[in-house]
Amino acid sequence: MQSNNGPTDWRDRILSQPELVLEDHDVMRALIRAGDTRRGGNVVDLRGAAMERLETRLDALEDTHRHVIAAAYENVAGTAQIHRTILQILDAPTFPALLEGLEGDIRETLRVDTVRLVLETGEEEQDPALDRFDDVLCAVPSGFITDYAGREGPVILRRAAGGVETIYGDRTAWVRSEALLLLDLGAGRRPGMLAFGSQDPDQFRTGHGTDLLTFLTGVFERVMRRWLS
């Protein structure tokens, strides 16, 4: 049986489908190198140099394109995540149900390892009925939130520093980064804070975008004012 891979067959195929060569970077490089060997060492191939420069720019452009697409997908996913979280917050029929959601479904939707609602209260203001929510609700003395946050919000992203045991309790040892959502609970009320803790030191970092978490902060503030009224 006669082979169909002879030189004539390849030539006919390339002539009928030149894109097979033109779109293959490795083949084009091999052809250019083969051409270089037929010229003297003192000949400068400006066309080849221009092609190499264009190829470098194309690779950089493709890289940028991939990063832009990845960032767009990440933004879409983040927006959907916050929307689901907000719906879960709004669906809570009671304040205890909201606290249960923070430790359960809401935490899972946000993909964080721990969620703590921090409220500044005096001992006389603490409701014994809420003691069972120690895993998510944290009562602190007046002024604690401002001192702990260290700067104005409404959202602070950072590596977890010392002094977080008051908030995270026995989980402090593995919290490596945190998002602090500073809550304005209305006139005449002490401030509050929603703290998200993660084992991943890079999940919350200074410089990350905070627009979605700022929106979440505004929604949560309004829900809290409703329960506190």
Would you say residue 78 has pLDDT above 60?
A: yes
What's residue 6's pLDDT?
A: 63
What's residue 1's pLDDT?
A: 42
CA distance 213 to 203: 13
When pLDDT is cut at 50, 70 and 90, the band that residue 228 belongs to is confident
What's residue 37's pLDDT?
A: 60
Determine if the pTM surpasses 0.75: no
What's residue 102's pLDDT?
A: 93
What's residue 181's pLDDT?
A: 96
Residue 72 lies in a domain: no
| pLDDT, average across residues 182-206 | 91
The boundaries of the domain holding residue 168 are 80-228
Would you say residue 93 has pLDDT above 90?
A: yes
Are 159 and 176 within 8 A, CB to CB?
A: yes
Counting the structural domains of the chain, the total is 1
Q: What is the identity of the amino acid at 54?
A: L
In the chain, % of residues over pLDDT 70:
76
Residue 131 lies in a domain: yes
CATH, residue 158? 3.30.450.40
With b for 16 or more beta-carbon neighbours within 10 A and e for fewer, the 83-92 pattern comes to: eebbebbeeb
Residue 215 lies in a domain: yes
Residue 161 lies in a domain: yes
Please, what is the average pLDDT of the chain? 81
Report the SS3 class of residue 35: helix
Residue 68 lies in a domain: no
Task: Compare 108 and 63 and report the one with higher pLDDT.
Answer: 108
Would you say residue 45 has pLDDT above 70?
A: no
Beta-bridge mates of residue 180 = 156, 195
Residue 145 lies in a domain: yes
What's residue 2's pLDDT?
A: 47
3-state helix, strand, coil in the chain (%, to 5): 55, 15, 30
Q: What is the identity of the amino acid at 97?
A: A
Residue 146 lies in a domain: yes
Task: Compare 8 and 180 and report the one with higher pLDDT.
Answer: 180
Would you say residue 44 has pLDDT above 60?
A: no
Residue 57 lies in a domain: no
- Quick: pLDDT tens for 147-176: 999 888 899 999 886 557 889 888 888 899
Give the number of C-alpha atoms closer than 13 A to the C-alpha of residue 134, restricted to the C-beta side: 7
